[in-house]
Structure 1
């Protein structure tokens, strides 16, 4: 059972003071967070790609590379790389370089992206949203499989028996598929035999169990060994000394960020009642003291079947020392509880 962190490197205004941390400072803070996550024994750290003012991570591989030589065991992944609006050759080269710097700890998490700012920025038509991802994923997998590639498609110039370098330390370089819970993307991952990451950020997490089952059935249908298929989850949350202090610390920035997105996407207002319902036993927020958060992760393992859990913290901007403390508690208290109890449960 792997436990880790994901971040979008948020730079929203502090909900109390209105102060906004600069992109440069927030990027440096995230490097510190990765180094701490490695130190306290977490398994993976993911940085998500965005192209807007309130997120500083337009180049996740660069941020991860800054931490690669200052860490020793933590795996380093995008969360996600918006493959549809990027060049798969450059994505592969960036993460192969990261793999070299980290001596074999890099991963790519490829997704369509729930934010669309990168499409006009790089000259892509949103009408091609699905086709772009399918085509570019096909090329990325060919790059993963072979040093020299011959490929042709509609949205990128053809490649005729050309080598792509550097080659990664890992063979193959891991490529995960990120999904917001769309059955089509789950089936695709299963058919391709690729590990799957589900963004479980709303509703009852147990409702994702049928999607996990669909993923395994799709993979087995085409002959993949189910023991080699892997499912991870990414969920918002925060670990504090007590459950109430964790909730009080995490709510203001979460409310601010969710209401910004809600206004853009036509959602209702995000209130304390919404937040408290989501952090209840059957909600998708993993907020509380170490025991509370551990119990919810263990339930997710038992009820849904995930084998990697990534806590997304912060949502919106929080004081850096609070984020560091949450990472420390996740690594030193939550993760040992989860690993021990999951191992005991599976041994029965």
Structure 2
């Protein structure tokens, strides 16, 4: 069972002071967070791609490369790469470079993106949302599988027997499919035999169990060994000395972001009652002390079949020292409890 962290490198206003950290400072903090995650024994750290003022990571591979040079064991992944609006050749080159710097620890999580800012920025039409992803995923996998390729599609100039370099240390370079719970994307990942990442950020995580089964059936149909395909979840959360401290520190920054996005998307107001319901044992928020968070992750593994858990922390800007403490607790207290419990089932 792998345990890790994901971040969007948020630069939202501090809920107490109103101060907004600079993009540069927050990026440097995230590199420190990745280094600490490696030090405390976490398995993976993911950086998500966004192209808006309140998230600083428009180039996750660059951040991961900086961290790669300062770490030794932790796997480094995008979370996600918005493949629909990117060039698969460049994506592969960037992550092959991270793979070289890290000596074989890079991964790509490819997704269509729930935020749409990158589409007009790079000149793409949202009407091509699904078609873009399918075509570019096909090209990315072709590049991964062959040093020289010939390819033709509808949204990118053709490639005629050209090599793509550098080649990664890992063969193949891991490519995961990120999904918010869309059955079509889950089936696609299964048929292609690609690892799956589910964004479990609302409702009851147990409701994702049928999607996992759908994924496994599709993988078997595609002729893939289901037992060798990892399944990950990405969920909001925070760990502190006590569950009360964790909830009180995490609520306000999370509320700010959820209400900003909610206004953009037409959601209702996000209040403390909604937050507290989500951090119940059956809810999708992994907020609490080490024992509480460990028990919820174990519950997710047992009932949904997740083999990698990524805690997304923070959601809105929080003091760097609080985030660092949460990472330390996740690595030194939560992860050992989860691994010990899961190992006992398999012994």
TM-score normalized by structure 2? Answer: 1.00
Partner Cα separation in structure 2 for residue 245 and residue 39 of structure 1: 24
SS in 1 for 2:178: strand
Q: CA deviation at 1:59?
A: 0.1
Partner Cα separation in structure 2 for residue 65 and residue 333 of structure 1: 28
> Could you say which residue in structure 1 is the equivalent of 2:93?
93
Structure 1: which 4+ aligned runs deviate by more than 6 Å? none
Partner Cα separation in structure 2 for residue 331 and residue 18 of structure 1: 31
Q: CA deviation at 1:116?
A: 0.1
Match status 1:6 vs 2:14: no
Partner Cα separation in structure 2 for residue 226 and residue 164 of structure 1: 30
Match status 1:247 vs 2:247: yes
Partner Cα separation in structure 1 for residue 316 and residue 222 of structure 2: 41
Q: CA deviation at 1:227?
A: 1.2
Match status 1:126 vs 2:126: yes
The within-5 A match list for 1:137-216 is 137-216=137-216
The within-5 A match list for 1:220-239 is 220-239=220-239
Q: CA deviation at 1:223?
A: 1.1
> Could you say which residue in structure 1 is the equivalent of 2:112?
112
Match status 1:292 vs 2:263: no
Partner Cα separation in structure 1 for residue 130 and residue 277 of structure 2: 34
Partner Cα separation in structure 2 for residue 181 and residue 72 of structure 1: 33
Q: CA deviation at 1:294?
A: 0.1
Partner Cα separation in structure 2 for residue 233 and residue 149 of structure 1: 33
Partner Cα separation in structure 1 for residue 132 and residue 112 of structure 2: 9
Partner Cα separation in structure 2 for residue 236 and residue 270 of structure 1: 14
TM-score normalized by structure 1? Answer: 0.99
* RMSD of Structure 2 on Structure 1 (CA): 0.4
5+ residue gaps in structure 2?
none
Cα deviation digits, residues 189-237 of structure 1 (max 9, x gap): 0000000000000000000000000000001012111112221000000
The within-5 A match list for 1:268-279 is 268-279=268-279
Partner Cα separation in structure 1 for residue 266 and residue 240 of structure 2: 32
